[in-house]
Amino acid sequence: MGLSKTIWSNPVELIRAKRPEHPVLVCAPTVLQASARRFLKGFPGLVTYAVKSNPEEMVIQNLVAAGIRGFDVASSAEIELVSRLAPGAALHYHNPVRSRAEIAFAVSKGVKTWSVDSISELEKLIELVPAEGREISVRFKLPVAGAAYNFGAKFGATAELAAVLLSRAAAAGFIPSLTFHPGTQCVDPSAWETYIRSAAEICRNAGVRAARLNVGGGFPNHRTVGPAPALEEIFALIDRVATEAFGADRPALVCEPGRGLVGDSCSLVTRVKALRDGQHVFLNDGVYGALAELPLIGNIDRIEVYSPEGARRIGEVLPRIVFGPTCDSVDRLPGELPLPEDLREDDFIVFRAMGAYSTATNTRFNGFGQLEIATALSLGA
């Protein structure tokens, strides 16, 4: 593929120089580190990174360089990855269901913080994890809206059960804490308010003072045209409500963003394979590839189209149906995508805000999905 250059000025330079045949996720460490500093400066507590949203080594390394010292991990592989790249960092094992072998591995790796949402899994932890200096964080859920999809469908105890689990964990000698996840791409900050007030009530009902309250991920990133999400307003709301709800018993706060931290630090460069009969756009990437998430949480309309020479297409925008490369008929982006009418075969469509849930869920279905990762100084104008 020609040039051996490894750091591009921006995605357009890469398009011009390489005209990549396969999808390329172009990530900007400067953007990623600025995002990490924004969380570290603005969030009123400990910032941990939800590794599943983008487990690329380059991502973890840049977050560590920016000062992130805690990680939300969900599997033995994630624990191993973080132990290797960020030795000494805090590991929060926040997958509330684990096999006995997984628990033993995490104990051997020094995991101190564990989430739980059921009696059976709490009993396993009490049996297998030495309580001394270990924290059990009870995950609870509420029937609240506000997010792009519901995270309470799989994990989370009811408020009643959470109070039982909290007092049981405390009685077994663990440091008792609470955690929740308001749902990903949570653009309505009132979800945090409802959850935090409910957390205080759970503590009162259990008669337990929580050491920490983890307010989850769910922080939105900038997926659609219009102003970027106002993270600082969410941080301020969390800070204010935590004091109001808990008063003198306010726990230390923790957050575990994935999308909100890394989402805006990468753009996806895709190529138009065909413009079938001048209508349907066929891309070299789709819902089995890096765009897997779009049918679940909606299209990204922060897109730019470039000719193979790197000239921006600025024609009038037309809504078009966009298909991915596989032979499966569900391989289609939701609705229609606003694309310039001068779009041509072999052009490149660049999707912004693709840093989270893109590399991690990419598959090789039908032989596609040969996703490459590139580094750039900036993501362009």
Please give the residue ranges that form the binding site for ligand PLP (CB under 6 A).
50, 52-53, 72, 94, 181, 184, 216-219, 256-260, 356
Considering Cα of 58, then 62, then 64, then 65, what sign does the dihedral take?
positive
Minimum distance, C-beta of residue 14 to ligand PLP, in the bound complex (Å): 26
Minimum distance, C-beta of residue 318 to ligand PLP, in the bound complex (Å): 32
Q: Which is nearer to ligand PLP, 196 or 349 (CB)?
A: 196
Q: Which is nearer to ligand PLP, 134 or 181 (CB)?
A: 181
The DSSP code for 142 is -
| Two tokens, residue 228 | 């970027």
**Nearest alpha-carbon partner for 210 in 256, 242, 255:** 242
Q: Which is nearer to ligand PLP, 50 or 337 (CB)?
A: 50
In this structure, what is the dihedral angle of CA atoms 327, 333, 337, 340, given to the nearest 10 degrees?
-30
Write out the E strands in the chain: 7-8, 24-27, 46-50, 70-73, 90-93, 113-116, 135-139, 175-179, 212-214, 252-255, 266-276, 280-283, 303-306, 317-320, 322-323, 337-340, 348-351, 372-376
**Contacts (Cβ under 8 Å, ≥6 apart) of 124:** 98, 100, 103
Minimum distance, C-beta of residue 205 to ligand PLP, in the bound complex (Å): 23
SS3 (DSSP) at 221: coil
Q: Which is nearer to ligand PLP, 97 or 317 (CB)?
A: 97
Residue facing ligand PLP at closest CB distance: 217
In this structure, what is the dihedral angle of CA atoms 182, 188, 191, 196, given to the nearest 10 degrees?
100
| Two tokens, residue 219 | 């922080």
Minimum distance, C-beta of residue 64 to ligand PLP, in the bound complex (Å): 18
Minimum distance, C-beta of residue 94 to ligand PLP, in the bound complex (Å): 4
Q: Are 91 and 50 in contact (CB under 8 A)?
A: no
The DSSP code for 250 is P
Q: Are 247 and 240 in contact (CB under 8 A)?
A: no
SS3 (DSSP) at 190: helix
Q: Which is nearer to ligand PLP, 11 or 260 (CB)?
A: 260
Q: Which is nearer to ligand PLP, 192 or 219 (CB)?
A: 219
Minimum distance, C-beta of residue 200 to ligand PLP, in the bound complex (Å): 20
Separation CA 289–CA 267 (nearest Å): 14
SS3 (DSSP) at 337: strand
**Contacts (Cβ under 8 Å, ≥6 apart) of 12:** 306, 310, 380
Q: Which is nearer to ligand PLP, 229 or 380 (CB)?
A: 229
Task: Determine whether 327 is an active site residue.
Answer: yes
**Nearest alpha-carbon partner for 8 in 62, 261, 16:** 16
- Per the DSSP assignment, residues forming a β-bridge with 70 are 48, 90
Minimum distance, C-beta of residue 53 to ligand PLP, in the bound complex (Å): 4
Minimum distance, C-beta of residue 75 to ligand PLP, in the bound complex (Å): 11
Q: Which is nearer to ligand PLP, 10 or 115 (CB)?
A: 115
Of 27, 186, 203, 327, catalytic: 327
User: Which positions are annotated as active-site residues?
Assistant: 327
